[in-house]
């Protein structure tokens, strides 16, 4: 992020502030000054002048959204996405901070590459927090230097795209995690059980004649890792894109036993099921795959009851030549930054009656806690001036062709949604405004 050193202030007036950390759910004005939250007060009480004013009447004002799981594809795959295009899509989706995955080319397994991602020349329009690779080249064998990655600005480590499969490697990773207070993000998939699979195993995979991944392939790894995490006091395990009821059971057990276990769920997993994989449409192919209706029900319950810590998009852009091919040959992954809020409000608030405050928590304070983003995920005085303003009632239709992302591989093209981002503010400056 480029930071301007000039003094600047922005007053957001007449909005309805939802800040779960501050326990505020009421009409409030907010003054942002020089990159920080300077004042919060009931409407018309702030007396200080401001360079710029934003009228948020009828809108929700929330801490800036944080996405724990985004593939920005740089270095090396800028034909799919760049840090500039991916963060432009993030801003349009209301995200003021994104954590980017290390499965780039080369892999982000050194402090030099972590530093490279964070350089202003990359043209990021929102905050980018890199996640380093957990093992060298993400090959799963030799751990990287966690401390060096942490010093360079990585907020966690992962081999995402692949699991840390070897038990000894995972045990060593969790031991180090406890020593330096650093989260290990696990892509929970026992790849010995999922070779050549392209969707979830169930009636649909049988009908389509596609080899299916079982729930057990996810749950086995989560189960093992939760047990390992309990062996090292202070070890931090974060389960990426959790998708099955069985894996939730393991996470709940860990939380009950006071292990530092957290998890995230994607919008596509709470909005869709494997039966949506019709006609071999590769925009419905991702890993983990869309699961059964009962898995989805379990995710909805866990999002509501506090078991799930964050909504994360797993924004995974791919080019047409990687997606417009036979289902089994297509790349795994879907884009997600611009549809996350609309899906959350439409599905979780509209249909499940989840309070907006809980949705805001899953997009702000929840993810901020998972990777310790201090002074973010809340608008308490003195916090970073990252703000998302949205209209919870606005009906709109998502047009993938108009996406800011370089890639358009989404299952939600043409979807009617309720809830739309109106403005995204990073460090006190408006970086996105809906037209």
Interatomic CA distance for residues 37 and 358, integer angstroms:
22
Determine which one of 215, 295, 314, 391 is catalytic.
314
Contact 247, 226 (CB under 8 A): no
Q: How many residues bind Zn ion (CB under 5 A)?
A: 2
187 binds Zn ion (CB under 5 A): yes
Interatomic CA distance for residues 383 and 64, integer angstroms:
11
Tell me the two tokens of residue 347: 């599905």
327 binds ligand DOR (CB under 6 A): no
Cβ distance to Zn ion smaller for residue 187 or 238: 187
Interatomic CA distance for residues 157 and 135, integer angstroms:
9
269 binds Zn ion (CB under 5 A): no
Least distance CB 222 / ligand DOR (angstroms): 15
160 binds Zn ion (CB under 5 A): yes
Please name which of 128, 69, 60, 136 lies closest in space to residue 97, comparing C-alpha atoms.
Answer: 128
Contact 142, 133 (CB under 8 A): no
Q: Which residue's structure tokens are 């059964």?
A: 292
Interatomic CA distance for residues 234 and 411, integer angstroms:
39
Stretch near Zn ion under the rule CB under 5 A, chosen from 125-133, 184-192, 251-259, 394-402: 184-192
Interatomic CA distance for residues 254 and 176, integer angstroms:
19
Cβ distance to ligand DOR smaller for residue 335 or 424: 335
Interatomic CA distance for residues 320 and 409, integer angstroms:
8
Cβ distance to Zn ion smaller for residue 160 or 338: 160
187 binds ligand DOR (CB under 6 A): yes
Least distance CB 182 / ligand DOR (angstroms): 21
272 binds ligand DOR (CB under 6 A): no
Among 127, 133, 158, 287, binds ligand DOR (CB under 6 A): 287
Residue 287 to residues 32, 34, 132, 183, 228: CA-CA distances in angstroms? Answer: 40, 41, 20, 21, 24
Please name which of 329, 202, 347 lies closest in space to residue 266, comparing C-alpha atoms.
Answer: 347
13 binds Zn ion (CB under 5 A): no
Q: Which residue's structure tokens are 């990773």?
A: 173
Which conformational region is residue 356 in: left (phi greater than 0), alpha (psi within -120 to 50 degrees), or beta?
A: alpha
Tell me the two tokens of residue 66: 């944080």
Q: Which residue's structure tokens are 């809340």?
A: 378
Least distance CB 214 / Zn ion (angstroms): 17
Site for ligand DOR in 145-164 (CB under 6 A): 160-161
103 binds ligand DOR (CB under 6 A): yes
Contact 312, 241 (CB under 8 A): yes
Q: How far is CA 43 from the centre of its chain?
A: 32
Least distance CB 15 / ligand DOR (angstroms): 36
DSSP 208: H
Cβ distance to ligand DOR smaller for residue 122 or 187: 187
Q: Name the β-bridge partners of 26.
A: 17
Cβ distance to ligand DOR smaller for residue 69 or 384: 69
Among 24, 277, 286, 290, binds ligand DOR (CB under 6 A): 286
Site for ligand DOR in 71-90 (CB under 6 A): 71
Annotation says 314 is catalytic: yes
Cβ distance to ligand DOR smaller for residue 85 or 287: 287
Cβ distance to Zn ion smaller for residue 371 or 387: 371
Residue 332 binds which of ligand DOR, Zn ion, none (CB < 5-8 A, kind-dependent): ligand DOR
Residue nearest to ligand DOR (CB): 333
225 binds Zn ion (CB under 5 A): no
Q: Which residues sit at the interface with Zn ion, rule CB under 5 A?
A: 160, 187
Residues forming the active site: 314
Q: Which residues sit at the interface with ligand DOR, rule CB under 6 A?
A: 71, 103, 160-161, 187, 286-287, 316, 332-333
């Amino acid at each position: 992020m480029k930071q301007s050193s000039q003094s600047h202030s922005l007053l957001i007036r007449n909005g309805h502030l939802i800040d779960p950390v501050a326990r505020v759910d009421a009409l409030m004005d907010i003054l942002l000054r020089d990159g920080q939250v300077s004042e919060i007060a009931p409407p018309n009480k702030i007396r200080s002048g401001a360079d710029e004013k934003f009228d948020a009447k009828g809108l929700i004002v929330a801490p800036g959204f944080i996405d724990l799981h985004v593939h920005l594809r740089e270095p090396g795959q800028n034909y799919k996405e760049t840090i500039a295009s991916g963060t432009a899509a993030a801003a349009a989706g209301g995200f003021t901070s994104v954590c980017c995955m290390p499965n780039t080319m080369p892999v982000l397994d050194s402090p030099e590459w972590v530093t490279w991602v964070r350089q202003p020349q990359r043209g990021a329009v929102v905050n980018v927090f890199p996640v380093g690779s957990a093992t060298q080249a993400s090959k799963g064998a030799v751990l990287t230097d966690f401390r060096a990655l942490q010093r360079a600005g990585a907020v966690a480590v992962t081999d995402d795209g692949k699991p840390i499969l070897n038990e000894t490697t995972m045990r060593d990773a969790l031991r180090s995690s406890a020593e330096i207070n650093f989260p290990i993000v696990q892509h929970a998939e026992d790849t010995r059980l999922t070779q050549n699979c392209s969707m979830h195993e169930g009636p649909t995979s049988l009908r389509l004649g596609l080899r299916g991944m079982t729930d057990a392939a996810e749950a086995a790894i989560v189960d093992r890792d939760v047990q390992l995490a309990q062996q090292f006091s202070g070890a931090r395990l974060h389960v990426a894109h959790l998708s099955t009821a069985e894996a939730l059971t393991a996470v709940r057990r860990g939380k009950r036993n006071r292990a530092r276990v957290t998890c995230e769920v994607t919008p596509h997993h709470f909005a869709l099921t494997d039966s949506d994989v019709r006609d071999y449409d590769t925009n419905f192919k991702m890993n983990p795959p869309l699961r059964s209706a009962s898995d989805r029900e379990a995710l909805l319950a866990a999002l509501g009851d506090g078991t799930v810590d964050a909504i994360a998009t797993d924004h995974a852009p791919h080019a047409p030549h990687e997606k417009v091919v036979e289902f089994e040959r297509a790349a795994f992954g879907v884009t997600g930054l611009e549809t996350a809020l609309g899906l959350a409000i439409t599905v979780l608030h509209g249909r499940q009656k989840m309070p907006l405050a809980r949705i805001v928590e899953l997009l702000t304070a929840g993810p901020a806690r998972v990777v310790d983003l201090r002074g973010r995920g809340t608008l308490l005085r003195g916090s970073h001036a990252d703000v998302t303003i949205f209209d919870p009632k606005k009906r709109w239709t998502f047009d993938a062709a108009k996406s800011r992302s370089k890639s358009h591989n989404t299952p939600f093209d043409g979807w009617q949604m309720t809830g739309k981002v109106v403005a995204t503010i990073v460090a006190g400056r408006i970086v996105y405004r809906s037209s």
